[in-house]
A and B are shown apart, each in its own frame.
Chain A
């Protein structure tokens, strides 16, 4: 058992991190703090998850969202997908293990992975709408969000959702407001089996090691930690019993990284594009400077008068 985050004191506290701890800020440059805070992480052990959705309820409760009531379409996912009002979602997969012929019921809690190299932040055009704190939390700042949806294209995990109500993007905050005052995320707090635990990234990796060893001893040879290096690692990690094929867990990407199309758009295109426009403008300016205007001469006017006069009179 991993020791849970203790209950808070009831007195007021000042937040443990804020503006001064930003290491990235969308569409802006920040001077990173001299000292980085200890990286935090949430570890989701899918092998311990019982699919009770207490995490979803706790998330709704803490964030005070009101997901729409939907119709039962014969699947366990409820709601049908992540929405602007549902930041985390249990995804259920029935998978037939070809080696054992056993049906395995895979349940994965989907939500923001809090990438070390966040694609959403890279794609975002609005200064300060997406920020990354030095403890690893990637957060959306709603008053700066313009609702363009570029974060959706930047994200390798298909997480952000745009609200039709206020036209801003929503996703899991890792309960940054709770963590700032020494609490753990609401979902971790509510999880009855400790399938979700929260602590420093180092602690979580260590805890995962123990879990993986346990799973291996039970015959899950490919058990492992999902902390994908393609996005610099994540601050939400999974323990998977089949870590060699993460895609069986409702399409968890194998080796996710920021799409090369997004990299090209936000990289070369951005600079080359402005350069092309600049060259066009400067060429025009220089041409004018060197040649001066192209004017119609008196002779041209006279020629035209002769020409039209001859014909019409």
Chain B
């Protein structure tokens, strides 16, 4: 376990006192990076599902038919991989497991019933967000690896048919898990009001930070210069 001092604050995070207080959470670069990843993931899920179950083949129409799905899907996968790699490099340190994460996870019942006052103070990410981050990281590595094995157009010659069979099975299972993790991620963002703005406009309100990520807020305030750049009311 690492010391609590270091990793609770991200690059570009800062507090702007006022009414209401706003807290910068994601830089423009991080947000663009996120939305490229998000778009690719949705396209991959839709195109992948169209080949996964006959009932869902109809989804291939969104891409211009089965031939297009077959051609496009792997390339979108490559985009996702590199885009996610960008997110990984940005956020991995902030997602390292901390002592309070175990406590948070043990009180998952309070989490789900919105009794946030009973939870320990949390840094930039809580245990749920960290689990989403790490499971996606692992799943995306599994998906790109198994995906290349079954990308017959370019890589058919490098593996045996038996290896490709395993890759197909692993790829499907990993994709199912990734879609499920994605559902958790999206639902949490919708459920906890004020969260989505962090990824669209880049900031959250002070109350949001106080309620869900108080440790993060404390550190931001502690490190901010005494004379902070105040936001005007118009902002």
| A residues near B176, Cβ cutoff 8 Å | 269, 273, 276-277
Q: State which of A147, A148, A269 has its C-beta within 8 Å of the C-beta of B172.
A: A269
New A-B pairs, 10, CB < 8 Å, besides A287-B187, A297-B207, A304-B20 = A146-B51, A148-B51, A270-B172, A273-B173, A281-B183, A284-B184, A291-B113, A295-B193, A301-B205, A301-B206
Chain B residue with Cβ nearest A285: B187
Known contacts: A147-B67, A294-B114. The answer to whether A265 contacts B169 by CB under 8 A is yes
Q: Are B193 and A293 in contact (CB under 8 A)?
A: yes
| A residues near B173, Cβ cutoff 8 Å | 269, 273
Looking at chain B's contact residues, is the secondary structure mostly helix, strand, loop, or mixed?
A: helix
| A residues near B5, Cβ cutoff 8 Å | none
Q: Are A291 and B206 in contact (CB under 8 A)?
A: no
Q: Are B21 and A305 in contact (CB under 8 A)?
A: yes
B140 CB to nearest chain A CB (Å): 17
Q: State which of A265, A276, A300 has its C-beta within 8 Å of the C-beta of B208.
A: A300
Task: State A312–B230 Cα separation when bound (angstroms).
Answer: 10
| B residues near A287, Cβ cutoff 8 Å | 112, 187, 191
| A residues near B113, Cβ cutoff 8 Å | 291
Among residues 262 to 313 in chain A, which have CB atoms less than 8 Å away from a CB atom of chain B? Answer: 262, 264-265, 269-270, 273-274, 276-277, 280-281, 284, 287-288, 291, 293-298, 300-305, 307-309, 311-313
Which residue, of A27, A127, A146, has the highest number of chain B Cβ atoms within 10 A? A146
B26-34, B36-44, B52-60: which lies at the interface: B52-60
A36 CB to nearest chain B CB (Å): 24
Say which size band chain B's interface belongs to. Answer: 35 or more
A254 CB to nearest chain B CB (Å): 16
Q: Are A146 and B69 in contact (CB under 8 A)?
A: yes
Chain A residue with Cβ nearest B167: A153
- What are 26 sample pairs from A and B whose C-beta atoms fall under 8 A apart? A28-B54, A125-B52, A146-B70, A153-B165, A162-B156, A261-B168, A269-B172, A273-B176, A276-B180, A277-B179, A287-B191, A288-B187, A288-B191, A291-B114, A294-B191, A295-B194, A296-B205, A300-B207, A301-B205, A302-B207, A303-B207, A304-B20, A305-B18, A305-B20, A305-B206, A312-B227
A233 lies within 8 A of chain B by Cβ: no
Task: State A294–B189 Cα separation when bound (angstroms).
Answer: 10
Q: Are B67 and A167 in contact (CB under 8 A)?
A: yes
| B residues near A125, Cβ cutoff 8 Å | 50-52, 54, 57, 66
Give 6 closest A-B pairs by Cβ, nearest first: A304-B206, A146-B66, A301-B207, A300-B207, A27-B54, A284-B187
A259 lies within 8 A of chain B by Cβ: yes
Q: Are A304 and B52 in contact (CB under 8 A)?
A: no
Task: State A211–B65 Cα separation when bound (angstroms).
Answer: 49
Chain A residue with Cβ nearest B230: A312
Q: Are B205 and A280 in contact (CB under 8 A)?
A: no
| A residues near B51, Cβ cutoff 8 Å | 125, 146, 148, 150
Chain A residue with Cβ nearest B209: A304
Q: State which of B57, B112, B165, B210 has its C-beta within 8 Å of the C-beta of A304.
A: B210
Q: Are B184 and A280 in contact (CB under 8 A)?
A: yes
Say which size band chain A's interface belongs to. Answer: 35 or more
| B residues near A148, Cβ cutoff 8 Å | 51, 66, 70, 152
Chain B residue with Cβ nearest A293: B193
Q: Are B112 and A308 in contact (CB under 8 A)?
A: no
Chain A residue with Cβ nearest B16: A308
